[in-house]
Amino acid sequence: MRIHKEGHIYCIIASLLYAAVIWLCLHFLPVFLAYPLIFILGLIWFWVFWFFRIPTRTFTTGNDLVISPCDGKVVVIEETNEGEYFKDKRIQVSIFMSPLNVHVNRYPMSGVVSYVKYHKGKYLVAWHPKSSTENERSTIVVKGPKAEILIRQIAGAVARRIVMYSKQNDQAKQNEELGFIKFGSRVDLFLPIGTKINAQIGDIVQGGIHVIATL
């Protein structure tokens, strides 16, 4: 396991602040207050490192497979109108990431990045039905050999920063990083009608490992 590059500065700042707090507590607070406070703040310091972790994994691959783009819980599987790019009916699969999940986002399949756009927006809770169209978000479309799919990174009430690495005409490689969402969020997939969905609502999935659909 290692720390993601997006978290390096946060981990450094957290460590410096925690060291300063320890010094202040030990020098200016009585022991019965200092040690509980150091312990509680130590849990927060540990969580910052835990949030930006990248665990070692053996990825699932397949030209006809749509692999989970992130860790989290499947909260939506439904047919809906996708109005930004396809402008027709698609199967939407939404994965909610809690602040305890790994927050790396990965390409669910290989292909060419045919569309990329970042949208400023609101910060509704990530499971809100309107968060997909009203929250801060980025849209990435990958055209593969069997289908064209849309991936949408959505910021939540806590997450206020979406990092997107994709650029138009990039070669997308299945399971490689496409971006990162900081501090809680959601990822939506929009798949062609008729796609076989392998996931179910309530499933706990891991990015790069679990198969969401078969094309």
Tokens read off for 197: 């969905």
Examine the domain organization and report whether 71 and 16 are in the same domain.
Answer: no
Examine the domain organization and report whether 99 and 141 are in the same domain.
Answer: yes
Examine the domain organization and report whether 98 and 156 are in the same domain.
Answer: yes
Reported as a pLDDT band with limits 50, 70 and 90, residue 122 is low
Tokens read off for 22: 């320890």
Asked if residue 72 is part of any domain, the answer here is: yes
Last residue of a domain, one of 16, 34, 54: 54
Question: Which residue is listed with tokens 């202040």?
Answer: 24
Examine the domain organization and report whether 201 and 127 are in the same domain.
Answer: yes
CA 37/CA 28 separation, integer angstroms: 12
Number of residues written out for the chain: 215
Domain count of the chain? 2
Query: What is the percentage of the chain residues whose pLDDT exceeds 90?
Result: 77
Examine the domain organization and report whether 106 and 195 are in the same domain.
Answer: yes
CA 47/CA 25 separation, integer angstroms: 20
Is the pLDDT at 160 greater than 80? The verdict is: no
Contact call for residues 35 and 22 (beta carbons, < 8 A) = no
Last residue of a domain, one of 54, 76, 96: 54
Contact call for residues 112 and 169 (beta carbons, < 8 A) = yes
Q: What is the pLDDT of residues 59-92, one digit of tens each?
A: 999 999 999 999 999 999 999 999 999 999 999 9
Examine the domain organization and report whether 99 and 197 are in the same domain.
Answer: yes
Asked if residue 11 is part of any domain, the answer here is: yes
| Nearest in space to 142 (alpha carbons), one of 166, 164, 163 | 166
Examine the domain organization and report whether 49 and 70 are in the same domain.
Answer: no
Q: Which residues are catalytic?
A: 185
| Residue 17 pLDDT | 96
Asked if residue 133 is part of any domain, the answer here is: yes
Examine the domain organization and report whether 39 and 17 are in the same domain.
Answer: yes
Is the pLDDT at 133 greater than 70? The verdict is: no
Asked if residue 121 is part of any domain, the answer here is: yes
Contact call for residues 114 and 148 (beta carbons, < 8 A) = yes
Asked if residue 204 is part of any domain, the answer here is: yes
Rounded mean pLDDT of 110-130?
Answer: 76
Examine the domain organization and report whether 91 and 185 are in the same domain.
Answer: yes
Examine the domain organization and report whether 78 and 34 are in the same domain.
Answer: no
DSSP 111: E
Rg for the chain (alpha carbons), in Å?
Answer: 19
Examine the domain organization and report whether 105 and 159 are in the same domain.
Answer: yes
The residue segments making up the domain with residue 126 are 65-214
Examine the domain organization and report whether 23 and 94 are in the same domain.
Answer: no
